[in-house]
Structure 1
Amino acid sequence: MNIVDRFLNYTRINTTTNREKGAAGIMPSSPGQMELAQLLANELQALGLVDIDLRDTAILTATLPANTDKIIPTVSFFAHLDTSAEQTNDTKAQVVRYDGGDIVLNPSLDIVLKQAKFPEVAAYQGQDIIVTDGTSLLGADDKAAIAAILNALQVLQVNPEIEHGEVKVAFVPDEEQGLRGAKAFDVEAFGADFGYTLDCCGIGEFVHENWNAGNAVITFNGQSAHPMSAKGKLKNSLLMAHKFIAMLPGGEAPEYTDGTEGYYWVKELAGNSAKTVLKMDIRDFCQQGYAKRMAFLQQLADSCEGLWGEGSIDIDLSYRYENVANSLQGDAAFPIDIAKEAYKRNGIEMKAIPMRGGYDGAVLSQKGLPCPNIFTGAHNFHSIYEYLPVPSLEAASNVVVDVICITAERAK
């Protein structure tokens, strides 16, 4: 099966993550994720993989046995089964030949991918590009990764002369809901020495740093009163919350920052005069910067309680995930070096980018499995304008093959 047909087959299974079921602790949160995992388990078996383990959480793992007696580190590759909840419709993917200009996705609904809005598409003139009909996501996030990994395994199967060590693969659910599959993943039982996720960006891009990420839930406890007798009695928690927000550093919010600039994100505010709950995300690439942000929020809450009285404010600060760069330092940086060589062999210039978000590899790295992130070739994730140039998808698979080859070559 060629890589395009593989990808198109995967897009026909609706694996939209379900936020309500995810919030209730159900994993996988949608039945399509298990359906896709079952299909992949069958395909992995046909490709000669062993120790195929599909759990009731839809976490799927498998092993390609080594074809040499040489002692080679075990490399692994990860992709996630779910697609984002921004669009829930079934995907109707189509392959178009891109000759420049705009791409009409759906003439009857007048849905057009405009080059003026997405100028990077011009780089793919003369290529086949996979798009939707404009009524759903494409799901290249992360089915392009699945197709690339399975295609790489197929290359190894039909070319037994390619020396390789043991290779492990894993497919996890509900990445789009706080990396839930990776958080439930048993790294120790998996038994790999290092790994890569494929969950990013255009051809050539590579991620080996992302956020240190945390959450804050701040509860403002007021005192309700009837307005006819409220003077000196009413303590409006809504106004307390707004005053707290006003004391956050100006300009340090998502809409004002880019690159490696951190932020406080006021994400949700709900309540009434008696009680109001504020939910925030805290992000910083630097460990020290992250710690300072969390300490600042605690100090601000303590100061506000001093002004408004004991019990007027409760703050719960929690940790979400760590910057993968923290796990790729010194002797643990070799996965980056192997990837650089794999890109080079394919004539691809590596463009390392800081990811302003989280991905499964951040959690896996923190658990002891160094895991940077390779491109899938797709653009416009989480959008009806998501598209995937076919040569970029093929390149992602080629990089996977070369990572495996280089790992074997470098073994003593």
Structure 2
Amino acid sequence: MKIVDRFLQYTRINTTTNRENGAAGIMPSSEGQMVLARLLADELDALGMKDIVLRDTAILTATLPSNIPANLTGNQHVPTVSFFAHLDTSAEQKNDTRAQVVSYHGGDICLNADLGIALKQSDFPELNNYVGDDILVTDGTSLLGADDKAAIAAIMHALQTLQSNTEILHGDVKVAFLPDEEQGLRGAKAFDVETFGADFGYTLDCCGIGEFVHENWNAGDAIVTFTGQSAHPMSAKGKLKNSLLMAHQFISMLPAGEAPQYTEGREGYYWVKEMSGNSAKTVLKLDIRDFTQQGYRDRMAFLQTLTNNCVTLWGDASVSIHLADRYENVANSLEGDASFPIDIAKEAYARNNINMIAIPMRGGYDGAVLSQKGLPCPNIFTGAHNFHSIYEYLPVTSLKAASDVVVEVIKITAERASHPR
């Protein structure tokens, strides 16, 4: 099957994550994710994969056994490399995807003439990099689903390439497809790294051709509860203690300019995400992000200190805070001797004449959780652009390149074991 046909087949299955079900602890949160997982399990079986396991959570794993003759490795261990993609698509749009392939010759791309929706070159100037390429786009009424079905297609096509070219030597290769990444990396958090048995891995999630992620946020959450004192306004003087105003004052004491809309690159932030309540009780939710471990700890400590000071200002039981870690920077797990997955990826990119562009990811991805669990897991590009948008698009050449990089990573892993440096 051609890689584009694979991708289109996967996009026809609606796997929109369901936030309500996710909040209720249901996984997968949407039935479409299980439908896609079952299809992939059948395809993996047809490709000769072994140890195919589909759990009731829609977590799907499989192994391609090594084909390296024992005399080539001797007693040298051939590391087991693994690849991950997620089944769900973001809830920003819930409509079925009607993907289309356009031959791009420059200018705007009409997505939907009836609705007057176009992918405008003036808004997305990087389109100029893909003149002469075929590009996968939506009809303007849904996401494309390249996040993360481009990854699924790239991984499956790489396995097909190995099956069709048995002269390519490889060690054990493991793959895993995980649910509900778009809801706090739920599938990765439920994933059993020890049972999986890989030595290292890569996710394919995000980014244009050439981009590579081996650092992301240290991430945490804060829930701040403000308890006031309600009173009728006719007799409120000296009695009413408005928790809504307390919350607003708390927000005003956060560092100016350290919010998502004012930061970029490796600059951390406090993100005021949600506030609900009334004059008697108000709950404020924040995300805390920083690339460095010390910076992250300092931010969490600042919020605790701010809360303590507000208690001093407003009285006991007026403010409480719950701080929780969400995931770590994957860079913490790729230092020193553990940096070899980065080196292998660099060589794989170079062999495919792709200039590696290492970028800090201002977000989380499954690899951050997997790395924290002991499976070093940086991130390879899928080639797609404009995730979580009706303007999401995927150049076909980039999709093929992602799959070629996967194959090359597998080859290099085997070569390094067969011919140690």
TM-score by length of 2: 0.98
AA partner of residue 91 (structure 1) = T
Q: Give, in angstroms, the shift of residue 200 of structure 1.
A: 1.5
- Following the alignment from structure 1 to structure 2, what is the Cα–Cα distance between the partners of residues 382 and 243? 33
1:333 partner SS: helix
**Where does residue 185 of structure 1 map in the other structure?**
191
Match of 2:14 in 1: 14
Aligned partner of 2:320 in structure 1 is: 314
- Per the alignment, residue 213 of structure 2 pairs with 207
- Contact 1:80/1:173 (CA < 8 Å) preserved in 2? yes
Contact 1:200/1:206 (CA < 8 Å) preserved in 2? no
**CA offsets, 1:358-401, max 9 Å, x none?**
00000000000000000000000000000000000000000000
Q: Distance in 2 between matches of 1:243 and 1:400?
A: 51
**Is residue 395 of structure 1 aligned with residue 401 of structure 2?**
yes
1:296 offset after TM fit, Å?
0.2
Once residues 132 and 295 of structure 1 are traced to their aligned partners in structure 2, the CA distance between those partners, rounded to angstroms, is: 45
Contact 1:221/1:276 (8 A) holds in 2: yes
How many Å separate the matches in 1 of 2:236 and 2:141?
Answer: 52
Where does 1:222-371 land on structure 2 (aligned, <5 Å)?
222-371=228-377
Deviations 1:153-186 (A, max 9, x none): 0000010010100000000000000000000000
Specify the alignment match of 2:52 in structure 1.
Answer: 52
Structure 1: gaps (5+ residues):
none
Distance 2:242 2:196 in 1: 52
Q: Distance in 2 between matches of 1:340 and 1:148?
A: 18
Q: Distance in 2 between matches of 1:121 and 1:29?
A: 34
Distance 1:206 1:305 in 2: 45
Measure the CA separation in 1 of the matches of 2:115 and 2:59. Answer: 38
Alpha-carbon distance in 2 for matches of 1:134, 1:229: 56
Structure 2 SS opposite 1:289: helix
One-letter code aligned to 1:65: P
Q: Which residue of 1 aligns with 2:101?
A: 95
Give the Cα–Cα distance (whole angstroms) in 2 for the partners of residues 244 and 378 of structure 1: 39
RMSD: 0.5
Task: Tell me the SS of whatever aligns to 2:84.
Answer: strand
Q: CA deviation at 1:73?
A: 0.3
Alpha-carbon shift at residue 257 of structure 1 (Å)? 0.1
2:222 and 2:173 map into 1 onto residues whose CA distance is 39
8 Å CA contact 1:101, 1:114 repeated in 2: yes
Letter of the 1:179 partner, please give it: L
Structure 1: distance between partners of 2:38 and 2:127? 34
Amino acid at match of 2:277: G
Alpha-carbon deviation of 1:252? 0.2
2:167 aligned with 1:161, yes or no? yes
Where structure 2 has 5 or more consecutive residues not aligned to the other structure, the ranges are: none
Provide the secondary structure at the position in 1 that maps to 2:276.
Answer: strand
2:84 aligned with 1:111, yes or no?
Answer: no
Counterpart residue identity of residue 404, structure 2: N
Equivalent AA in structure 2 for residue 191 of structure 1: G
The residue matched to 1:347 in structure 2 has which SS?
coil
Which amino acid in the other structure matches residue 364 of structure 1? L
Residue 33 of structure 2 corresponds to residue 27 of structure 1: no
Identity, % of aligned pairs? 80
Q: State the distance in 2 between where 1:229 and 1:91 align.
A: 58
Shift of 1:325: 0.2
Question: Matched residues in 2 for 1:267 and 1:130: separation?
Answer: 33
User: What is the TM-score normalised by the length of structure 1?
Assistant: 1.00
Q: How many residues align?
A: 412
Contact 1:74–1:193 (8 Å) recurs in 2? yes
SS at match of 2:40: helix
Structure 2: which amino acid aligns with 1:67? N
Q: Which consecutive aligned stretches of 4+ in structure 1 deviate over 4 angstroms post-superposition?
A: none
Q: Which amino acid aligns with 2:15?
A: T
Report the counterpart of residue 411 of structure 2 in structure 1.
Answer: 405
Structure 1 residue 51 displacement after superposition: 0.2
Q: How far apart are the structure 1 equivalents of 2:272 and 2:32?
A: 33
Distance between the aligned counterparts of 1:12 and 1:229, measured in 2?
Answer: 62
- Secondary structure of 1:53's aligned partner: strand
Q: Deviations over 1:323-345 (max 9, x none)?
A: 00000000000000000000000
Cα deviation digits, residues 2-59 of structure 1 (max 9, x gap)? 1000000000000000000000000000000000000000000000000000000000
Secondary structure at the aligned position of 2:374 is classed as coil
Q: Secondary structure of the equivalent of 2:386?
A: coil
* Cα distance in structure 2, aligned partners of 1:6 and 1:230: 66
1:154 alignment partner AA: Q
- Separation (CA, whole Å) in 1 of partners of 2:125 and 2:349: 24
Paired with 1:274 and 1:261, the residues of 2 have a C-alpha distance of 36
Aligned partner letter, 2:34 = M
